Amino acid sequence: MLLGRLAKAYPDWGPTLEFASPLELLVATILAAQARDERINEVTRGLFKKYRKPADYVRVPSAELERDVHATGFFRQKAKALKAASAGLLEMYGGEVPASMEELVKLKGVGRKTASIVLGSAFGIPAIAVDRHVARVAGRLGLSKSAEPDRIEEDLRAFFPRKDWVKATWNLVLHGRRTCMPTPECPCCPVLALCPYPKKTKT
């Protein structure tokens, strides 16, 4: 019932980052930290024409890659993360993005959230990604009492059927972005009747 109502309210649910391969989604997700997906898509449209393989990120001078991702914010850290992850892909996986959580999180700078997004949206493998929106919504809806991303992920995996994990992730993300924001817009919430959050807004 909960997921059905959310999916009806957000029929455009799904990845909000533009990509054409697992590598592109991995890169875009790394760049998306503390940035709006719309800005990331603006940057990657050009970036993906220039960098097509992990080796391209490894070979380019750091200063040049920093300039290319400057508009995403925290560009030095992100350029460093892209180089480290790309080097890991070459060293451990022959330049291919692996399709398992265990292998993905071995890459420097890749945590469970990033790995889950890649697994679910690039490979179609059921996974739940917990970002700040998912964490906030899960807490307010009573789906998890934890503030720890790993525990929230466990609670959501237990609550939703495995086949719905990717769908649940993106619906919770969109709900957190559009309705259940830090100051929620409760009067227009599609799951208001199912929500136990005690600090609902009136207007």
Active site residues: 113, 131
Residues contacting residue 161 through CB under 8 Å, at least 6 positions apart: none
SS3 189: coil
Asked if 118 and 104 touch (Cβ cutoff 8 Å), the reply is yes
Q: How many angstroms separate the CA atoms of 23 and 129, rounded?
A: 18
Q: Other C-beta atoms within 10 Å of 101: how many?
A: 15
